[in-house]
Structure 1
């Protein structure tokens, strides 16, 4: 997931902002809803003039999780396939996060991702980028995580 989060972070360094949509009206804040263990379900890549591409984690990557704790720390247990040995390898890392104005901020990766939707069991992180600074969104990524 670190690779995936890094890809998201790199893609989002200059993204435009989107409005936050919260479809869970239970009254819990984003800070409460994010707590727990999440798995990547899929990533949708949208590029101006191109057909959407959908990425689903492979069997090895499906083992990956990220746990967000109440003390604003997270731990990622990432699995990825080593193409040289065809083995599923594990890396554990973590750090500090915060949620500010509808954004999930990973202080270790220096990534700021818009929380478009969050409920007790689903979270959508969205980023947009205007590559050529013409005021139009050229690239958009929607990452869906589930508990």
Structure 2
């Protein structure tokens, strides 16, 4: 009888244990990958411009900390984000605020989910712009 109880206990512990390595550690949203600018709002002129997905694409490479921007906007607008090119970036976390620094431009990282990203230069407190992205 004791032997049967020991076998059951060992079986229970073996089955109850799980390997945390099997779980995905990437449950947190990430900048990595391509994001399409879908809206730019703000500035002194109070712009509010919408863009189709794929017209302006920002591709973040977290390994090299490089941002590749492909800006195919041909419309005449006041501001549509960064020009096409490759930029260095870094993420700065202070207290509860997260900033994204691209070259010398500081954006407040307002929202980051799997499908939505909002970067704010101070659109509502100064003459900055807010850019909204989607995947």
The residue number in structure 2 matching 1:73 is: 66
The DSSP-based 3-state class of the residue aligned with 1:128 is coil
The gaps in structure 2 that reach 5 residues or longer are: 1-25, 77-82
Change (3 A) 1:80 1:100: same
Q: Say whether 1:43 aligns with 2:40.
A: yes
1:56, distance to aligned residue in structure 2 (A): 1.1
> Which residue does the alignment assign to 1:19?
none
Tell me the TM-score normalized by structure 1: 0.55
Rounded to whole Å, the distance in 1 between the matches of 2:40 and 2:115 is 17
Task: Give TM-score, length-normalised by structure 2.
Answer: 0.59
Structure with the greater alpha carbon radius of gyration: 2
Alpha-carbon distance, 1:142 to partner: 2.4
Root-mean-square deviation (Å): 3.1
Q: Where do residues 1-147 of structure 1 align in structure 2 (5 Å cutoff)?
A: 28=28, 33-45=30-42, 53-57=47-51, 62-71=54-63, 72-81=65-74, 92-101=84-93, 102-107=98-103, 110-128=104-122, 137-139=125-127, 141-147=129-135
**Residues 98 and 55 (structure 1), Cα distance of their counterparts in 2 relative to 1, 3 Å cut:** same
Q: How many residues align?
A: 99
How far apart in 2 are the matches of 1:95 and 1:138? Answer: 24
Deviation at residue 33 of structure 1 after TM alignment = 0.9
Partner SS for 1:33: coil
Deviations 1:16-59 (A, max 9, x none): xxxxxxxxxx852xxx6100101111122276xx9x642112x6
Instruction: Check 1:53–1:120 CA distance in 2 against 1; reply closer, same or farther (3 A cut).
Output: same
Compared CA separation, residues 129 and 123, structure 1 to 2 (3 A): closer
Unmatched runs of 5 consecutive residues or more in structure 1: 1-25, 84-90, 131-136
Q: 1:76/1:139 Cα in 2 relative to 1: closer, same or farther (>3 Å)?
A: closer
